[in-house]
């Protein structure tokens, strides 16, 4: 990041934030949104575009430490910025996992290289193994606000203890997967798994866990987050829980709003995911859940893999997609959602849930200039050669997308301009 910040004056665009929509020019100076542009401000025409608070992603995998050959903080944060994100939460899927204060200090040193705000997710249990609790209080004292294990915590007594020990401001994020009901599942259990002869993961492996976690959240009163749901019944369980006053949030990946188990028909490993892509009925229920705010957050679940890891047979290939650079475009242009719903799910609400206090705010003077400029109507082809991420597992290569991130401003610095990273 530059030591000297330039001043900018964004003219001709529409501002969309929690207060509504309005046509308004926006001046940025010394890292902040200001009332009037400075004399030396660089004018940038954003006619036909929308300016909003920067996007916030609560599920990324940037490799470090342990998997730098696939992605690193530098490449991952540059990909995030190109996707319009000014803040990200790095997954606990690292090696070693972050389960003690010394590991937190190392992570913070790594994150200093980022061109967006990065925070770490610590594991709930020691080593993420689900056997004994990590030092949650000590980690929380050091500033950790998000706790999540790599997989499901089968011991519900242990999970309840974690919820009861969780401190004010911290979130217990749980991946709702039942290991006993999901033995080597390669895709969703249904018509297509039977046709393809692949072992399936039934929806009940998720929904049974969702029901149990909702009950624990109700009993403990803890702030609980359901990480990356995929089934229609999960949406309905959450809808009922929220009506009953349970304090619980949830996320869904952009991929689960786009793909179904039928996309696996050609045994293409690009469509192997965790959780698996389910039926079209599930996909439609997930979109409706985002639309009516039952599902709070849409995440990229940016999970880079090498080309070799995705060229293995379907049931042995790496899971997931490296899609952070296309997430905003896909949610704007392919899901039939109003722009306010898109920005709520990608910016305002994730910032609030995870406590990113300088993100997701109103676009007004006095706030830190973490901003994104989007063109909801721009049509463009995602060229593989243009991708910033090191991950080669991107199902959107060579696809025509509608909606594009044009500029990203992080702490007042223009880090992406005309859809290209410039720092």
Catalytic residues: 301
Q: Which two tokens stand for residue 159?
A: 């999970």
From residue 280, give the alpha-carbon distance in Å to each of 191, 239, 256, 316: 12, 20, 10, 24
For β-strands 413-417 and 117-120, DSSP reports them as unpaired
Distance CA 344, CA 357 (A): 15
For residue 346, report the phi and psi dihedrals to the nearest 5 degrees: -105, -10
CA 278 – CA 96 distance, rounded (Å) = 32
Buried b (16+ CB within 10 A) or exposed e, 382-402: beeeebbbbbbbbbbbeeebe
Strands (E), 175-246: 187-188, 200-201, 224-226
Burial 137-162 (b: 16+ CB within 10 A, else e): eebbeeebbbbbbbebbeeeebbbbb
């Amino acid at each position: 990041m530059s030591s000297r910040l330039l001043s900018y004056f964004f003219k001709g665009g529409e501002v969309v934030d929690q207060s509504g929509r309005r046509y308004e020019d926006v001046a940025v100076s010394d890292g902040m949104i200001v009332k009037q542009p400075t004399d030396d401000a660089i004018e940038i025409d954003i006619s036909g575009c929308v300016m909003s608070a920067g996007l916030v992603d609560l599920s990324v995998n940037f490799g470090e430490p342990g998997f730098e050959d696939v992605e690193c903080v530098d490449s991952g944060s540059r990909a995030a910025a190109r996707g319009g994100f000014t803040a990200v939460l790095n997954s606990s899927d690292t090696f070693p996992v972050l389960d003690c204060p010394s590991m937190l200090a190392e992570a913070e040193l790594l994150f200093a290289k980022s061109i967006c705000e990065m925070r770490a997710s610590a594991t709930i249990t020691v080593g993420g193994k689900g056997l004994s609790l990590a030092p949650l209080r000590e980690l929380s004292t050091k500033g950790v606000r998000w706790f999540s294990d790599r997989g499901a915590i089968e011991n519900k007594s242990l999970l309840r203890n974690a919820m009861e020990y969780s401190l004010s401001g911290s979130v217990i994020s749980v991946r709702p997967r039942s290991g006993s009901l999901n033995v080597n599942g390669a895709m969703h259990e249904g018509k297509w798994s039977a046709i393809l002869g692949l072992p399936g993961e039934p929806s009940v492996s998720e929904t049974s866990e969702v029901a149990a976690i909702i009950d624990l959240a109700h009993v403990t009163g803890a702030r609980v987050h359901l990480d990356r749901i995929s089934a229609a019944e999960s949406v309905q369980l959450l809808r009922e829980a929220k009506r009953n006053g349970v304090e619980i949030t949830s996320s869904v990946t952009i991929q689960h709003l786009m793909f179904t188990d039928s996309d696996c028909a050609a045994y293409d490993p690009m469509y192997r995911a965790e959780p698996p892509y389910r039926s079209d009925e599930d996909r439609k229920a997930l979109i409706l859940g985002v639309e009516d705010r039952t599902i709070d957050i849409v995440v990229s679940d940016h999970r880079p893999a090498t080309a070799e890891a995705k060229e293995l047979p379907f049931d042995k290939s790496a899971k997931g997609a490296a899609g952070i650079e296309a997430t905003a475009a896909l949610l704007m242009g392919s899901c039939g959602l109003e722009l306010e719903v898109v920005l709520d799910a990608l910016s305002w609400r994730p910032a609030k849930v995870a406590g990113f206090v300088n993100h997701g705010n109103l676009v007004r003077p006095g706030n830190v200039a973490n901003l994104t400029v989007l063109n909801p109507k721009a049509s463009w082809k995602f060229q593989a050669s243009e991708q910033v991420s090191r991950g080669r597992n991107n199902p959107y290569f060579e696809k025509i997308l509608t909606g594009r991130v044009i500029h990203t401003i992080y702490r007042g610095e223009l880090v992406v301009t005309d859809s290209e990273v410039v720092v």
